[in-house]
DNA sequence: GTCTATAACTGGATAGAC
DNA sequence: GTCTATCCAGTTATAGAC
């Protein structure tokens, strides 16, 4: 978001977590949870602060107290899990590179990038599922999607590209970037669980079946990337 | 859309095109054009009917006269090009099957499905670009995206699946459906041109470069699908 | 920190003149 | 068909009491 025309006018009373009072339910988190679910389903403009307040069991004014303008709430929702997700994925890529030094494969690198996300979707609960749906939505928003995705997630992606370069030293960068673009499109649509595949397959497949995605997605992307790269470097050494 | 709680109350005075008066600019189309661009960039709730009216150079009341409620306008935008697109793609798949009877390949089928869309994006102008961005956005909307995509585009997709079955007679349907799911995620993100790849690649690649997509996407998806299918049917005949 | 009350405004929609 | 004028429900946001 970072909507330039609606800055929070309050002096941002609570940066980070609520200063004192480790009070039970932690209303700040409840607001974020409610907002996350609603934004994921109905987009930024499709949700009112009142709905968020109602869903969180909280007064409307409290939202402004904690987050300033509505766009501040959105940013907070987006940032909260981005930090966790980035750390998990960077660690995964680091670990893969360390344990496979000199024997880095395309599929291995892609798995190290994709699987942490799918594992979180499998075990992280409803909050994470909403979050992924939200990211998928932002990913496909021309107005500010490209910029937001870049701002929050670029470091991990650059890290993935770097590992892929080791696996494919003769690949052209254009092919790696386009390959990543295709990958992220598939991955984000899969974790946003829109239910389309249920309808399309007449109940044979389920969008919520992330295990089925995990079984297939990295093989799919790895084979695709390899083919694209090979078309441009016909005689692959090694 | 098909928002159940806000039905157009007017008796839908103009179904199809404005009855008489083949008057120059055709305001109905101008409204649709304006709405298409705005919805694509800012989503349904992010656009007001007043904005649409302003952009179209038309009075707000006229929008309600032609389309009833706001959701009616959205549906009209979505439907207008869906009909054209479906026809083009069905024809393309038919033509491919006829000219390659008995020698249907995965990549050929996928090209027959993807390329008409990419060609339209390449030559169809700004309206079509907006339309694809809009479809991409709907595709990733959990609330009604799955249902809407199914309603408008299922026949073509089922047709693609049928052709793929001929190319891969031993493939399991689950793999074909998941393969399609991955394909549509990549394709729709590519044609929504969010500009992310420009930032990510620091200017090396351009989201608007649909020719680059066309060079790579069908090879990518075909290789991916083939790999997924093969993993489950190790000894491929033919 | 939390809630009440309300200001200030924007939104969709329509009646009725032309 | 198109525009003027307007209704009014619902929105963000805040001031100020507790």
How do residues A28-42 score in pLDDT, each as one tens digit?
A: 999 999 999 999 999
The per-residue pLDDT for A45 is 97
Contact in structure between A56 and A31 (CB atoms under 8 Å): yes
Contact in structure between A63 and A52 (CB atoms under 8 Å): yes
The per-residue pLDDT for B232 is 87
The per-residue pLDDT for B185 is 98
Residues A133-174: pLDDT tens digits? Answer: 999 999 999 998 999 999 999 999 999 999 999 999 999 999
Query: Would you tell me the crossing angle of helices A106-123 and A210-232 to the nearest 10 degrees?
Result: 160
Closest CA to B192 of B150, B143, B138: B138
∠ at Cα B149 (B145, B152), nearest 5°? 140
Q: Average pLDDT in the B80-101 region?
A: 97
Q: How far is the C-alpha of B16 from the C-alpha of B13, rounded, in Å?
A: 10
Chain B residue numbers with beta carbons less than 8 Å from the beta carbon of A196 are 139, 145-146, 149-150, 181
The per-residue pLDDT for A1 is 55
Residue B134's pLDDT band (cuts 50, 70, 90) = very high
Q: Average pLDDT in the B90-97 region?
A: 98
The per-residue pLDDT for A235 is 59
Q: How far is the C-alpha of B9 from the C-alpha of A114, rounded, in Å?
A: 48
Q: Average pLDDT in the A191-207 region?
A: 97
Q: Which nucleotide across the nucleic acid strands is nearest to B48, CA versus C1'?
A: C11
Q: Which nucleotide across the nucleic acid strands is nearest to A50, CA versus C1'?
A: D11
Phi, psi of A19 (to 5 degrees): -45, -70
- Which of A158, A186, A207 has the CB atom closest to B186's CB atom? A186
- Dig out the tokens for A187 from the structure: 């991955």
Gap from B232 CA to chain A (nearest CA, Å): 10
The per-residue pLDDT for B25 is 67
Find, in chain A, the residue whose alpha carbon is nearest to that of B136.
Answer: A140
Chain B residue numbers with beta carbons less than 8 Å from the beta carbon of A199 are 146-147, 150, 154
Q: What is the DSSP letter of B204?
A: S
Q: Domain A80-232 classified CATH 1.10.357.10?
A: yes
- B65 CA to D2 C1' distance (Å): 10
Residue B1 has pLDDT above 70, yes or no: no
Question: Which residue bears the tokens 């008796």?
Answer: B11
Closest CA to A199 of B134, B4, B165, B177: B177
Of the listed ranges A47-61, A105-119, B16-30, B70-84, the one predicted with least confidence: B16-30
The per-residue pLDDT for B130 is 98
Query: Under the phi-then-psi rule, with left for phi > 0, alpha for psi from -120 to 50, and beta for the rest, what region is A8?
Result: beta
Residues A92-123: pLDDT tens digits? Answer: 999 999 999 989 999 999 999 999 999 999 99
- Which of A145, A178, A216 has the CB atom closest to B205's CB atom? A178
Query: What is the share, in percent, of chain A residues with pLDDT greater than 70?
Result: 87
Q: Domain B81-232 classified CATH 1.10.357.10?
A: yes
Q: Which are the contacts of A166, defined by CB distance < 8 A and separation ≥ 6? A: A97, A104
Residue B10 has pLDDT above 70, yes or no: no
Query: What is the share, in percent, of chain A residues with pLDDT greater than 90?
Result: 84
CB atoms within 10 A of CB B125: 9
Contact in structure between B129 and B121 (CB atoms under 8 Å): yes
Q: How many CA atoms lie within 13 A of A95 on its CB side?
A: 10
The per-residue pLDDT for A153 is 98
Chain B residue numbers with beta carbons less than 8 Å from the beta carbon of A42 are 45, 143
H helices present in chain B, as ranges = 27-42, 49-56, 60-67, 70-99, 106-123, 126-139, 145-167, 173-192, 196-200, 210-232
Closest CA to B136 of B186, B86, B192: B192
Closest CA to B110 of B153, B155, B164: B164
Query: Under the phi-then-psi rule, with left for phi > 0, alpha for psi from -120 to 50, and beta for the rest, what region is B69?
Result: beta
∠ at Cα A118 (A115, A121), nearest 5°? 150
Residues B146-175: pLDDT tens digits? Answer: 999 999 999 999 999 999 999 999 999 999
Residue A233's pLDDT band (cuts 50, 70, 90) = confident
Gap from B51 CA to chain A (nearest CA, Å): 15
Tell me which of B110, B129, B188, B189 to substitute to probe the interface with A (most A C-beta atoms closer than 10 Å).
B189
- Dig out the tokens for B187 from the structure: 């394709």
Residue with the bigger pLDDT between A12 and A87: it is A87
Residue B19 has pLDDT above 60, yes or no: no
Please indicate whether, in this complex, the C-beta atoms of B228 and A212 are within 8 angstroms of each other. Answer: no
Residues B56-69: pLDDT tens digits? Answer: 999 999 999 999 99
Closest CA to B222 of B174, B173, B160: B160
Question: Which residue bears the tokens 């050929």?
Answer: B108
């Amino acid at each position: 978001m970072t909507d330039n025309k609606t800055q929070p006018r309050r002096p941002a009373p609570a940066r980070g977590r609520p200063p004192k009072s480790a009070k039970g339910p932690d209303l700040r988190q409840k607001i974020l949870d409610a907002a996350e679910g609603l934004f994921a389903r109905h987009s930024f403009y499709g949700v009112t602060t009142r709905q968020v307040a109602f869903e969180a069991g909280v007064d409307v004014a409290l939202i402004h107290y904690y987050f300033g303008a509505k766009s501040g709430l959105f940013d907070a929702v987006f940032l909260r899990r981005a930090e966790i997700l980035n750390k998990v994925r960077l660690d995964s890529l680091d670990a893969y590179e360390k344990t496979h030094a000199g024997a880095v494969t395309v599929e291995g690198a892609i798995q190290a990038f994709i699987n942490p996300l799918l594992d979180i979707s499998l075990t992280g609960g409803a909050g994470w599922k909403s979050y992924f749906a939200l990211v998928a939505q932002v990913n496909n928003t021309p107005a500010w999607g490209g910029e937001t995705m870049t701002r929050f997630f670029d470091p991990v992606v650059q890290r993935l590209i770097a590992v892929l370069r080791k696996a494919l030293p003769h690949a052209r960068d254009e092919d790696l970037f386009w390959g990543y673009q295709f990958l992220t499109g598939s991955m984000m649509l899969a974790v946003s669980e829109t239910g389309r595949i249920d309808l399309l397959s007449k109940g044979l497949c389920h969008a919520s079946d992330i295990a089925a995605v995990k079984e297939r997605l990295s093989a799919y992307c790895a084979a695709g990337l390899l083919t694209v790269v090979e078309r441009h470097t016909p005689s692959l050494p090694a």
